[in-house]
Structure 1
Protein backbone atom coordinates (compact mmCIF):
# COMPACT_ATOMS: atom_id res chain seq x y z
CA UNK A 1 0.00 0.00 0.00
CA UNK A 2 1.09 3.54 -0.70
CA UNK A 3 0.82 4.60 2.93
CA UNK A 4 3.40 2.03 4.02
CA UNK A 5 5.72 3.01 1.19
CA UNK A 6 5.43 6.70 2.13
CA UNK A 7 6.04 6.02 5.80
CA UNK A 8 8.96 3.71 5.04
CA UNK A 9 10.64 6.48 3.05
CA UNK A 10 10.00 8.93 5.89
CA UNK A 11 11.03 6.74 8.81
CA UNK A 12 13.19 9.40 10.42
CA UNK A 13 10.45 12.02 10.13
CA UNK A 14 7.89 9.63 11.59
CA UNK A 15 10.19 8.83 14.50
CA UNK A 16 10.84 12.51 15.22
CA UNK A 17 7.15 13.39 15.03
CA UNK A 18 6.27 10.50 17.34
CA UNK A 19 8.91 11.45 19.90
CA UNK A 20 7.77 15.08 19.71
CA UNK A 21 4.26 13.95 20.58
CA UNK A 22 5.42 11.62 23.37
CA UNK A 23 7.71 14.19 25.00
CA UNK A 24 5.40 17.13 24.38
CA UNK A 25 2.40 15.70 26.23
CA UNK A 26 3.96 16.06 29.67
CA UNK A 27 6.73 18.54 29.00
CA UNK A 28 8.00 20.42 32.08
CA UNK A 29 5.97 18.32 34.50
CA UNK A 30 7.46 16.76 37.62
CA UNK A 31 6.03 13.28 37.07
CA UNK A 32 6.42 13.18 33.28
CA UNK A 33 5.02 10.00 31.71
CA UNK A 34 3.53 8.90 35.02
CA UNK A 35 0.75 11.41 34.35
CA UNK A 36 -0.48 9.06 31.62
CA UNK A 37 -1.66 6.76 34.43
CA UNK A 38 -3.42 9.52 36.38
CA UNK A 39 -6.49 9.86 34.16
CA UNK A 40 -7.39 6.14 33.94
CA UNK A 41 -6.75 5.72 37.68
CA UNK A 42 -9.03 8.68 38.45
CA UNK A 43 -11.71 7.21 36.16
CA UNK A 44 -11.33 3.84 37.89
CA UNK A 45 -11.88 5.37 41.33
CA UNK A 46 -14.86 7.49 40.27
CA UNK A 47 -16.65 4.84 38.20
CA UNK A 48 -15.93 2.11 40.74
CA UNK A 49 -17.51 4.20 43.49
CA UNK A 50 -20.55 5.23 41.44
CA UNK A 51 -21.31 1.98 39.65
CA UNK A 52 -20.17 -0.59 42.22
CA UNK A 53 -21.10 1.02 45.53
CA UNK A 54 -23.92 3.42 44.58
CA UNK A 55 -25.68 1.79 41.62
CA UNK A 56 -24.36 -1.64 42.67
CA UNK A 57 -23.50 -3.01 39.25
CA UNK A 58 -22.11 -6.51 39.68
CA UNK A 59 -20.56 -8.20 36.62
CA UNK A 60 -20.06 -11.94 36.58
CA UNK A 61 -16.78 -13.35 37.82
CA UNK A 62 -14.14 -14.02 35.19
CA UNK A 63 -14.63 -17.34 33.42
CA UNK A 64 -12.44 -19.37 33.91
CA UNK A 65 -10.11 -17.00 35.81
CA UNK A 66 -12.47 -16.63 38.76
CA UNK A 67 -11.53 -12.94 39.16
CA UNK A 68 -14.26 -10.92 40.83
CA UNK A 69 -12.73 -7.46 41.19
CA UNK A 70 -14.81 -4.64 39.73
CA UNK A 71 -11.88 -2.23 39.32
CA UNK A 72 -9.92 -4.69 37.15
CA UNK A 73 -13.03 -5.57 35.14
CA UNK A 74 -13.65 -1.85 34.63
CA UNK A 75 -10.10 -1.07 33.49
CA UNK A 76 -10.22 -3.79 30.83
CA UNK A 77 -12.88 -1.66 29.16
CA UNK A 78 -11.77 1.86 30.02
CA UNK A 79 -8.18 1.57 28.76
CA UNK A 80 -9.05 0.47 25.19
CA UNK A 81 -11.82 3.09 25.02
CA UNK A 82 -9.51 5.88 26.26
CA UNK A 83 -6.88 4.91 23.71
CA UNK A 84 -9.42 5.00 20.89
CA UNK A 85 -10.86 8.40 21.84
CA UNK A 86 -7.38 9.88 22.39
CA UNK A 87 -6.23 8.77 18.95
CA UNK A 88 -9.32 10.16 17.21
CA UNK A 89 -9.33 13.44 19.15
CA UNK A 90 -5.58 13.86 18.64
CA UNK A 91 -5.92 13.01 14.96
CA UNK A 92 -8.59 15.66 14.43
CA UNK A 93 -6.16 18.30 15.67
CA UNK A 94 -3.07 16.91 13.94
CA UNK A 95 -3.69 18.51 10.55
CA UNK A 96 -5.19 21.78 11.77
CA UNK A 97 -2.52 22.15 14.45
CA UNK A 98 0.29 21.68 11.92
CA UNK A 99 -1.13 24.03 9.29
CA UNK A 100 2.10 26.06 8.96
CA UNK A 101 4.24 22.94 8.53
CA UNK A 102 1.90 21.51 5.88
CA UNK A 103 1.94 24.74 3.90
CA UNK A 104 5.73 25.16 3.98
CA UNK A 105 7.20 21.68 3.51
CA UNK A 106 6.14 18.64 1.53
CA UNK A 107 6.09 15.35 3.40
CA UNK A 108 3.60 12.48 3.67
CA UNK A 109 0.71 14.04 5.58
CA UNK A 110 -0.21 10.62 6.90
CA UNK A 111 2.91 10.80 9.10
CA UNK A 112 1.11 13.31 11.30
CA UNK A 113 -1.78 10.91 11.91
CA UNK A 114 0.39 7.83 12.35
CA UNK A 115 2.76 9.58 14.75
CA UNK A 116 -0.25 10.68 16.80
CA UNK A 117 -1.43 7.06 16.96
CA UNK A 118 2.02 5.75 17.87
CA UNK A 119 2.44 8.28 20.67
CA UNK A 120 -0.86 7.26 22.24
CA UNK A 121 -0.01 3.61 21.65
CA UNK A 122 3.16 4.16 23.68
CA UNK A 123 1.15 5.55 26.60
CA UNK A 124 -1.49 2.84 26.28
CA UNK A 125 1.17 0.11 26.35
CA UNK A 126 2.41 1.40 29.71
CA UNK A 127 -1.14 1.48 31.09
CA UNK A 128 -1.83 -2.03 29.86
CA UNK A 129 1.43 -3.28 31.36
CA UNK A 130 0.36 -1.95 34.76
CA UNK A 131 -3.05 -3.60 34.34
CA UNK A 132 -1.49 -6.95 33.44
CA UNK A 133 0.74 -6.82 36.52
CA UNK A 134 -2.24 -5.91 38.73
CA UNK A 135 -4.32 -8.79 37.35
CA UNK A 136 -1.43 -11.22 37.85
CA UNK A 137 -0.90 -10.08 41.46
CA UNK A 138 -4.61 -10.45 42.26
CA UNK A 139 -4.96 -13.98 40.94
CA UNK A 140 -5.32 -13.88 37.17
CA UNK A 141 -3.03 -15.38 34.54
CA UNK A 142 -2.85 -12.67 31.88
CA UNK A 143 0.72 -13.58 30.85
CA UNK A 144 -0.68 -16.63 29.05
CA UNK A 145 -2.55 -14.31 26.71
CA UNK A 146 0.07 -11.62 26.11
CA UNK A 147 0.56 -12.41 22.41
CA UNK A 148 -3.19 -12.36 21.53
CA UNK A 149 -3.54 -9.18 23.59
CA UNK A 150 -0.72 -7.49 21.68
CA UNK A 151 -2.31 -8.53 18.38
CA UNK A 152 -5.66 -7.15 19.55
CA UNK A 153 -3.98 -3.89 20.54
CA UNK A 154 -2.52 -3.66 17.04
CA UNK A 155 -5.95 -4.24 15.50
CA UNK A 156 -7.51 -1.54 17.67
CA UNK A 157 -4.68 0.82 16.69
CA UNK A 158 -5.55 0.19 13.02
CA UNK A 159 -9.24 0.83 13.72
CA UNK A 160 -8.49 4.02 15.66
CA UNK A 161 -6.04 5.33 13.03
CA UNK A 162 -8.54 4.75 10.23
CA UNK A 163 -11.23 6.58 12.19
CA UNK A 164 -8.77 9.39 12.98
CA UNK A 165 -7.96 9.79 9.29
CA UNK A 166 -11.62 10.16 8.42
CA UNK A 167 -12.37 12.58 11.27
CA UNK A 168 -9.21 14.63 10.72
CA UNK A 169 -10.13 15.23 7.10
CA UNK A 170 -13.71 16.07 8.06
CA UNK A 171 -12.36 18.54 10.62
CA UNK A 172 -10.27 20.28 7.96
CA UNK A 173 -13.40 21.04 5.92
CA UNK A 174 -15.85 21.44 8.82
CA UNK A 175 -14.25 22.74 12.02
CA UNK A 176 -17.40 21.88 13.98
CA UNK A 177 -16.49 18.21 13.62
CA UNK A 178 -14.27 18.15 16.71
CA UNK A 179 -17.08 19.45 18.91
CA UNK A 180 -19.69 17.10 17.44
CA UNK A 181 -17.35 14.13 17.91
CA UNK A 182 -16.78 15.16 21.54
CA UNK A 183 -20.54 14.95 22.18
CA UNK A 184 -20.76 11.68 20.24
CA UNK A 185 -18.03 10.12 22.39
CA UNK A 186 -19.87 11.07 25.58
CA UNK A 187 -23.00 9.29 24.33
CA UNK A 188 -21.06 6.39 22.82
CA UNK A 189 -19.27 5.74 26.11
CA UNK A 190 -22.52 4.67 27.76
CA UNK A 191 -23.56 2.69 24.69
CA UNK A 192 -20.60 0.39 25.40
CA UNK A 193 -20.42 -2.29 28.12
CA UNK A 194 -17.65 -0.40 29.93
CA UNK A 195 -19.20 0.50 33.30
CA UNK A 196 -21.93 -2.14 33.16
CA UNK A 197 -21.89 -5.72 31.82
CA UNK A 198 -23.50 -6.63 28.52
CA UNK A 199 -25.52 -9.24 30.42
CA UNK A 200 -27.64 -6.40 31.86
CA UNK A 201 -28.62 -5.37 28.33
CA UNK A 202 -29.30 -9.00 27.41
CA UNK A 203 -31.58 -9.40 30.44
CA UNK A 204 -33.58 -6.30 29.55
CA UNK A 205 -33.72 -7.44 25.94
CA UNK A 206 -35.23 -10.77 26.98
CA UNK A 207 -37.73 -8.99 29.23
CA UNK A 208 -38.88 -6.57 26.51
CA UNK A 209 -38.88 -9.13 23.72
CA UNK A 210 -38.50 -8.50 19.99
CA UNK A 211 -39.98 -5.45 18.29
CA UNK A 212 -40.59 -5.72 14.56
CA UNK A 213 -38.55 -8.90 14.64
CA UNK A 214 -35.48 -7.24 16.20
CA UNK A 215 -34.37 -7.44 19.83
CA UNK A 216 -32.63 -4.75 21.87
CA UNK A 217 -29.54 -6.95 22.16
CA UNK A 218 -29.31 -7.38 18.40
CA UNK A 219 -29.39 -3.59 18.00
CA UNK A 220 -26.87 -3.22 20.82
CA UNK A 221 -24.43 -5.51 19.05
CA UNK A 222 -24.42 -3.20 16.01
CA UNK A 223 -22.04 -1.04 18.05
CA UNK A 224 -18.58 -1.88 16.63
CA UNK A 225 -16.69 -1.09 19.83
CA UNK A 226 -18.72 -3.69 21.74
CA UNK A 227 -16.58 -6.42 20.17
CA UNK A 228 -13.27 -4.81 21.13
CA UNK A 229 -14.30 -4.48 24.77
CA UNK A 230 -15.57 -8.05 24.91
CA UNK A 231 -12.34 -9.32 23.32
CA UNK A 232 -10.10 -7.46 25.79
CA UNK A 233 -12.15 -8.66 28.75
CA UNK A 234 -12.06 -12.25 27.51
CA UNK A 235 -8.26 -12.16 27.24
CA UNK A 236 -7.33 -10.19 30.34
CA UNK A 237 -10.16 -10.69 32.83
CA UNK A 238 -11.55 -14.10 31.82
CA UNK A 239 -8.16 -15.43 30.67
CA UNK A 240 -9.51 -17.14 27.57
CA UNK A 241 -9.70 -16.56 23.85
CA UNK A 242 -12.70 -14.60 22.55
CA UNK A 243 -15.35 -16.38 20.49
CA UNK A 244 -14.29 -16.97 16.86
CA UNK A 245 -17.14 -14.70 15.70
CA UNK A 246 -15.83 -11.87 17.89
CA UNK A 247 -12.30 -12.33 16.55
CA UNK A 248 -13.56 -12.32 12.97
CA UNK A 249 -15.62 -9.17 13.47
CA UNK A 250 -12.72 -7.34 15.13
CA UNK A 251 -10.33 -8.25 12.30
CA UNK A 252 -12.81 -7.20 9.59
CA UNK A 253 -13.68 -3.94 11.39
CA UNK A 254 -10.04 -2.99 11.96
CA UNK A 255 -8.84 -3.65 8.43
CA UNK A 256 -11.95 -2.17 6.78
CA UNK A 257 -12.00 1.07 8.78
CA UNK A 258 -8.26 1.57 8.27
CA UNK A 259 -8.50 1.01 4.51
CA UNK A 260 -11.53 3.29 4.18
CA UNK A 261 -9.86 5.96 6.29
CA UNK A 262 -6.64 5.78 4.30
CA UNK A 263 -8.51 5.84 0.97
CA UNK A 264 -10.42 8.95 1.98
CA UNK A 265 -7.31 10.62 3.41
CA UNK A 266 -5.19 9.81 0.36
CA UNK A 267 -7.80 11.24 -1.97
CA UNK A 268 -7.90 14.60 -0.22
CA UNK A 269 -4.35 15.08 1.08
CA UNK A 270 -2.99 16.71 -2.13
CA UNK A 271 -5.35 19.67 -1.52
CA UNK A 272 -4.65 20.01 2.19
CA UNK A 273 -2.39 23.06 1.87
CA UNK A 274 -5.07 24.88 -0.13
CA UNK A 275 -7.98 23.97 2.14
CA UNK A 276 -6.14 24.81 5.35
Structure 2
Protein backbone atom coordinates (compact mmCIF):
# COMPACT_ATOMS: atom_id res chain seq x y z
CA UNK A 1 0.00 0.00 0.00
CA UNK A 2 2.94 2.33 0.69
CA UNK A 3 4.13 1.90 -2.87
CA UNK A 4 0.66 2.71 -4.21
CA UNK A 5 0.47 5.88 -2.11
CA UNK A 6 3.89 7.02 -3.32
CA UNK A 7 2.99 6.46 -6.95
CA UNK A 8 -0.38 8.19 -6.58
CA UNK A 9 1.42 11.16 -5.02
CA UNK A 10 3.64 11.55 -8.07
CA UNK A 11 1.30 11.51 -11.12
CA UNK A 12 3.34 14.13 -13.00
CA UNK A 13 6.54 12.12 -12.59
CA UNK A 14 4.83 8.97 -13.81
CA UNK A 15 3.30 10.80 -16.78
CA UNK A 16 6.67 12.29 -17.78
CA UNK A 17 8.46 8.95 -17.49
CA UNK A 18 5.76 7.26 -19.56
CA UNK A 19 5.93 9.99 -22.19
CA UNK A 20 9.70 9.59 -22.33
CA UNK A 21 9.35 5.83 -22.83
CA UNK A 22 6.81 6.28 -25.63
CA UNK A 23 8.90 8.88 -27.46
CA UNK A 24 12.23 7.17 -26.89
CA UNK A 25 11.26 3.70 -28.02
CA UNK A 26 10.88 4.61 -31.71
CA UNK A 27 13.03 7.73 -31.75
CA UNK A 28 14.61 8.49 -35.15
CA UNK A 29 12.66 5.74 -36.90
CA UNK A 30 10.68 6.33 -40.08
CA UNK A 31 7.56 4.39 -39.05
CA UNK A 32 7.59 5.50 -35.40
CA UNK A 33 4.70 4.11 -33.38
CA UNK A 34 3.60 2.03 -36.37
CA UNK A 35 6.38 -0.41 -35.50
CA UNK A 36 4.13 -1.64 -32.68
CA UNK A 37 1.85 -2.95 -35.44
CA UNK A 38 4.52 -4.05 -37.90
CA UNK A 39 6.28 -6.39 -35.46
CA UNK A 40 3.25 -8.56 -34.54
CA UNK A 41 2.06 -8.55 -38.16
CA UNK A 42 5.47 -9.79 -39.31
CA UNK A 43 5.37 -12.54 -36.67
CA UNK A 44 1.85 -13.44 -37.75
CA UNK A 45 2.91 -13.82 -41.38
CA UNK A 46 5.92 -15.98 -40.47
CA UNK A 47 4.07 -18.23 -38.02
CA UNK A 48 1.07 -18.54 -40.34
CA UNK A 49 3.32 -19.61 -43.21
CA UNK A 50 5.17 -22.19 -41.08
CA UNK A 51 2.41 -23.62 -38.91
CA UNK A 52 -0.59 -23.27 -41.22
CA UNK A 53 0.83 -24.00 -44.68
CA UNK A 54 3.97 -26.07 -43.96
CA UNK A 55 3.21 -27.99 -40.75
CA UNK A 56 -0.56 -27.67 -41.26
CA UNK A 57 -1.44 -27.36 -37.57
CA UNK A 58 -5.23 -27.84 -37.20
CA UNK A 59 -7.18 -25.14 -35.39
CA UNK A 60 -10.69 -25.26 -33.95
CA UNK A 61 -13.64 -23.36 -35.33
CA UNK A 62 -14.77 -20.53 -33.09
CA UNK A 63 -17.77 -21.50 -31.01
CA UNK A 64 -20.21 -19.80 -31.48
CA UNK A 65 -18.47 -17.22 -33.70
CA UNK A 66 -17.91 -19.69 -36.54
CA UNK A 67 -14.48 -18.24 -37.29
CA UNK A 68 -11.89 -20.55 -38.83
CA UNK A 69 -8.87 -18.42 -39.65
CA UNK A 70 -5.34 -19.35 -38.54
CA UNK A 71 -3.98 -15.79 -38.68
CA UNK A 72 -6.76 -14.48 -36.41
CA UNK A 73 -6.48 -17.50 -34.11
CA UNK A 74 -2.75 -16.80 -33.86
CA UNK A 75 -3.11 -13.07 -33.16
CA UNK A 76 -5.59 -13.68 -30.34
CA UNK A 77 -2.77 -15.41 -28.48
CA UNK A 78 0.26 -13.66 -29.95
CA UNK A 79 -0.71 -10.10 -28.96
CA UNK A 80 -1.26 -10.90 -25.24
CA UNK A 81 1.94 -12.95 -25.20
CA UNK A 82 3.92 -10.16 -26.87
CA UNK A 83 2.63 -7.66 -24.32
CA UNK A 84 3.57 -9.92 -21.41
CA UNK A 85 7.12 -10.49 -22.67
CA UNK A 86 7.65 -6.81 -23.50
CA UNK A 87 6.49 -5.71 -20.03
CA UNK A 88 8.76 -8.13 -18.16
CA UNK A 89 11.73 -7.33 -20.41
CA UNK A 90 11.15 -3.58 -20.22
CA UNK A 91 10.59 -3.65 -16.46
CA UNK A 92 13.61 -5.90 -15.90
CA UNK A 93 15.90 -3.39 -17.64
CA UNK A 94 14.25 -0.22 -16.29
CA UNK A 95 16.35 0.15 -13.13
CA UNK A 96 19.72 -0.67 -14.71
CA UNK A 97 19.02 1.62 -17.68
CA UNK A 98 18.24 4.51 -15.32
CA UNK A 99 21.19 3.99 -12.99
CA UNK A 100 22.29 7.65 -13.08
CA UNK A 101 18.79 8.91 -12.34
CA UNK A 102 18.39 6.56 -9.37
CA UNK A 103 21.72 7.63 -7.87
CA UNK A 104 21.04 11.36 -8.22
CA UNK A 105 17.32 11.90 -7.56
CA UNK A 106 14.98 10.70 -4.82
CA UNK A 107 11.69 9.42 -6.24
CA UNK A 108 9.52 6.25 -6.09
CA UNK A 109 11.70 3.71 -7.91
CA UNK A 110 8.65 1.64 -8.89
CA UNK A 111 7.70 4.49 -11.23
CA UNK A 112 10.37 3.27 -13.67
CA UNK A 113 9.01 -0.24 -14.39
CA UNK A 114 5.46 1.12 -14.16
CA UNK A 115 6.15 3.82 -16.77
CA UNK A 116 7.63 1.16 -19.04
CA UNK A 117 4.50 -0.98 -18.59
CA UNK A 118 2.20 2.01 -19.26
CA UNK A 119 4.00 2.90 -22.48
CA UNK A 120 3.69 -0.70 -23.71
CA UNK A 121 0.02 -0.74 -22.75
CA UNK A 122 -0.56 2.16 -25.14
CA UNK A 123 0.97 0.21 -28.04
CA UNK A 124 -0.86 -2.95 -27.03
CA UNK A 125 -4.20 -1.13 -26.91
CA UNK A 126 -3.69 0.07 -30.48
CA UNK A 127 -2.88 -3.48 -31.57
CA UNK A 128 -6.00 -4.84 -29.87
CA UNK A 129 -8.21 -2.20 -31.48
CA UNK A 130 -6.86 -3.18 -34.91
CA UNK A 131 -7.54 -6.85 -34.09
CA UNK A 132 -11.11 -6.03 -33.02
CA UNK A 133 -11.70 -4.20 -36.29
CA UNK A 134 -10.32 -7.16 -38.26
CA UNK A 135 -12.53 -9.59 -36.34
CA UNK A 136 -15.58 -7.42 -36.99
CA UNK A 137 -14.80 -7.34 -40.72
CA UNK A 138 -14.59 -11.14 -40.68
CA UNK A 139 -18.07 -11.30 -39.14
CA UNK A 140 -17.28 -11.96 -35.48
CA UNK A 141 -19.17 -10.17 -32.71
CA UNK A 142 -15.99 -9.43 -30.76
CA UNK A 143 -16.84 -5.74 -30.26
CA UNK A 144 -19.69 -6.76 -27.96
CA UNK A 145 -17.12 -8.34 -25.63
CA UNK A 146 -14.97 -5.19 -25.34
CA UNK A 147 -15.84 -4.47 -21.64
CA UNK A 148 -14.87 -8.01 -20.64
CA UNK A 149 -11.77 -7.77 -22.84
CA UNK A 150 -10.62 -4.62 -21.02
CA UNK A 151 -10.93 -6.42 -17.67
CA UNK A 152 -8.87 -9.36 -18.93
CA UNK A 153 -6.27 -6.93 -20.28
CA UNK A 154 -6.10 -5.32 -16.83
CA UNK A 155 -5.57 -8.75 -15.26
CA UNK A 156 -2.70 -9.51 -17.63
CA UNK A 157 -1.22 -6.08 -16.95
CA UNK A 158 -1.26 -6.78 -13.21
CA UNK A 159 0.36 -10.19 -13.66
CA UNK A 160 3.05 -8.91 -16.05
CA UNK A 161 3.84 -5.87 -13.90
CA UNK A 162 4.17 -8.02 -10.77
CA UNK A 163 6.67 -10.28 -12.56
CA UNK A 164 8.47 -7.20 -13.93
CA UNK A 165 8.94 -5.84 -10.40
CA UNK A 166 10.57 -9.09 -9.31
CA UNK A 167 12.85 -9.27 -12.34
CA UNK A 168 13.85 -5.61 -12.12
CA UNK A 169 15.28 -6.20 -8.64
CA UNK A 170 16.88 -9.50 -9.65
CA UNK A 171 18.58 -7.83 -12.62
CA UNK A 172 20.16 -5.21 -10.39
CA UNK A 173 21.92 -7.86 -8.30
CA UNK A 174 22.42 -10.52 -10.98
CA UNK A 175 22.95 -9.14 -14.50
CA UNK A 176 22.71 -12.68 -15.86
CA UNK A 177 18.97 -12.45 -15.18
CA UNK A 178 18.19 -10.87 -18.55
CA UNK A 179 19.97 -13.67 -20.42
CA UNK A 180 18.27 -16.36 -18.37
CA UNK A 181 14.85 -14.76 -18.90
CA UNK A 182 15.48 -14.61 -22.66
CA UNK A 183 15.97 -18.39 -22.76
CA UNK A 184 13.03 -18.98 -20.41
CA UNK A 185 10.59 -16.94 -22.50
CA UNK A 186 11.58 -18.83 -25.65
CA UNK A 187 10.70 -22.13 -23.98
CA UNK A 188 7.62 -20.57 -22.34
CA UNK A 189 6.35 -19.42 -25.73
CA UNK A 190 6.12 -22.97 -27.05
CA UNK A 191 4.71 -24.20 -23.74
CA UNK A 192 1.79 -21.81 -24.32
CA UNK A 193 -0.92 -22.55 -26.94
CA UNK A 194 -0.17 -19.64 -29.26
CA UNK A 195 0.75 -21.35 -32.54
CA UNK A 196 -1.27 -24.48 -31.78
CA UNK A 197 -4.57 -25.30 -29.99
CA UNK A 198 -4.68 -26.79 -26.49
CA UNK A 199 -6.54 -29.78 -27.91
CA UNK A 200 -3.28 -31.09 -29.39
CA UNK A 201 -1.73 -31.28 -25.92
CA UNK A 202 -4.85 -33.02 -24.60
CA UNK A 203 -4.63 -35.64 -27.37
CA UNK A 204 -0.99 -36.40 -26.58
CA UNK A 205 -1.74 -36.45 -22.86
CA UNK A 206 -4.43 -39.09 -23.36
CA UNK A 207 -1.99 -41.24 -25.34
CA UNK A 208 0.71 -41.00 -22.67
CA UNK A 209 -1.57 -41.50 -19.67
CA UNK A 210 -0.72 -40.63 -16.06
CA UNK A 211 2.74 -39.28 -15.23
CA UNK A 212 2.70 -38.88 -11.45
CA UNK A 213 -0.20 -40.46 -9.61
CA UNK A 214 -3.37 -39.29 -11.32
CA UNK A 215 -1.64 -36.24 -12.80
CA UNK A 216 -1.33 -36.25 -16.58
CA UNK A 217 0.71 -34.16 -19.00
CA UNK A 218 -2.36 -32.00 -19.59
CA UNK A 219 -2.76 -31.33 -15.84
CA UNK A 220 0.83 -30.08 -15.60
CA UNK A 221 0.43 -28.11 -18.82
CA UNK A 222 -2.55 -26.22 -17.42
CA UNK A 223 -0.48 -24.95 -14.47
CA UNK A 224 1.04 -22.45 -16.90
CA UNK A 225 -0.66 -19.09 -16.12
CA UNK A 226 -0.13 -17.80 -19.66
CA UNK A 227 -2.01 -20.82 -21.02
CA UNK A 228 -5.03 -19.65 -19.03
CA UNK A 229 -4.63 -16.03 -20.07
CA UNK A 230 -4.51 -17.03 -23.75
CA UNK A 231 -7.65 -19.10 -23.16
CA UNK A 232 -9.43 -16.02 -21.79
CA UNK A 233 -8.47 -13.87 -24.77
CA UNK A 234 -9.41 -16.54 -27.32
CA UNK A 235 -12.75 -17.18 -25.64
CA UNK A 236 -13.68 -13.51 -25.89
CA UNK A 237 -12.16 -12.64 -29.25
CA UNK A 238 -12.15 -15.83 -31.31
CA UNK A 239 -15.09 -17.74 -29.83
CA UNK A 240 -17.20 -14.78 -28.67
CA UNK A 241 -18.25 -16.39 -25.39
CA UNK A 242 -17.54 -16.07 -21.68
CA UNK A 243 -14.24 -17.65 -20.60
CA UNK A 244 -14.43 -20.66 -18.25
CA UNK A 245 -14.89 -19.55 -14.64
CA UNK A 246 -12.04 -21.72 -13.31
CA UNK A 247 -9.56 -20.21 -15.77
CA UNK A 248 -10.76 -16.69 -14.94
CA UNK A 249 -10.30 -17.26 -11.20
CA UNK A 250 -6.92 -18.86 -11.87
CA UNK A 251 -5.77 -15.73 -13.72
CA UNK A 252 -7.12 -13.46 -10.98
CA UNK A 253 -5.17 -15.45 -8.39
CA UNK A 254 -1.94 -15.30 -10.40
CA UNK A 255 -2.34 -11.55 -10.97
CA UNK A 256 -2.85 -10.90 -7.25
CA UNK A 257 0.03 -13.15 -6.19
CA UNK A 258 2.41 -11.62 -8.74
CA UNK A 259 1.49 -8.07 -7.68
CA UNK A 260 1.70 -8.72 -3.94
CA UNK A 261 4.96 -10.69 -4.08
CA UNK A 262 6.52 -8.37 -6.66
CA UNK A 263 5.63 -5.25 -4.66
CA UNK A 264 6.86 -6.80 -1.39
CA UNK A 265 10.23 -7.80 -2.86
CA UNK A 266 10.64 -4.46 -4.63
CA UNK A 267 9.76 -2.52 -1.49
CA UNK A 268 12.24 -4.51 0.57
CA UNK A 269 15.15 -3.70 -1.77
CA UNK A 270 14.10 -0.24 -2.93
CA UNK A 271 16.34 1.72 -0.55
CA UNK A 272 19.39 -0.37 -1.45
CA UNK A 273 19.08 -0.03 -5.22
CA UNK A 274 21.36 2.99 -5.55
CA UNK A 275 24.15 1.20 -3.69
CA UNK A 276 23.65 -2.05 -5.60
CA UNK A 277 23.80 -0.28 -8.94
- The answer to whether TM tops 0.5 is yes
Q: CA RMSD in A?
A: 0.7
> Does 1:78 find its partner at 2:55?
no
- TM-score of the two chains, using structure 2 as the length reference: 0.98
What is the rounded CA distance, in whole Å, between the counterparts of 1:130 and 1:256 in structure 2?
Answer: 31
What is the rounded CA distance, in whole Å, between the counterparts of 1:111 and 1:153 in structure 2?
Answer: 20
- Cα deviation for residue 32 of structure 1 reads 1.4
What is the rounded CA distance, in whole Å, between the counterparts of 2:234 and 2:83 in structure 1?
Answer: 15
Aligned to 2:255: 254
What is the rounded CA distance, in whole Å, between the counterparts of 1:268 and 1:193 in structure 2?
Answer: 35
Aligned to 1:48: 48
> Does 1:66 find its partner at 2:73?
no
Q: Relative to structure 2, which stretch is displaced further, 234-243 or 2-11?
A: 2-11
What is the rounded CA distance, in whole Å, between the counterparts of 2:50 and 2:211 in structure 1?
Answer: 32
Aligned to 1:8: 8
- Cα deviation for residue 8 of structure 1 reads 1.1
- 1:129-167 Cα distance to aligned partner (Å, 9 max, x none): 000000000010111100010011011001000000001
- Cα deviation for residue 212 of structure 1 reads 3.0
- 1:50-91 Cα distance to aligned partner (Å, 9 max, x none): 000011011110011000000000000000000000011111
- 1:22-58 Cα distance to aligned partner (Å, 9 max, x none): 1111112222111111110000000000000011011
Residues paired across the two proteins, number: 276
- TM-score of the two chains, using structure 1 as the length reference: 0.99
DSSP-derived class of the 1:127 partner: helix
- Cα deviation for residue 211 of structure 1 reads 2.3
Aligned to 2:131: 131
Aligned to 1:88: 88
What is the rounded CA distance, in whole Å, between the counterparts of 1:212 and 1:138 in structure 2?
Answer: 44
What is the rounded CA distance, in whole Å, between the counterparts of 1:195 and 1:211 in structure 2?
Answer: 25
What is the rounded CA distance, in whole Å, between the counterparts of 2:77 and 2:129 in structure 1?
Answer: 15
- Cα deviation for residue 207 of structure 1 reads 1.2
Q: Which segments of structure 1 move beyond 6 Å, counting only runs of 4 or more? A: none
Aligned to 1:36: 36
- 1:104-137 Cα distance to aligned partner (Å, 9 max, x none): 0000000001101000000000000000000000
What is the rounded CA distance, in whole Å, between the counterparts of 2:8 and 2:262 in structure 1?
Answer: 19
What is the rounded CA distance, in whole Å, between the counterparts of 2:207 and 2:237 in structure 1?
Answer: 30
- Cα deviation for residue 256 of structure 1 reads 1.1
Residue segments in structure 2 that go unaligned for 5+ positions in a row:
none
What is the rounded CA distance, in whole Å, between the counterparts of 1:145 and 1:242 in structure 2?
Answer: 11
What is the rounded CA distance, in whole Å, between the counterparts of 2:104 and 2:3 in structure 1?
Answer: 21
Aligned to 1:225: 226
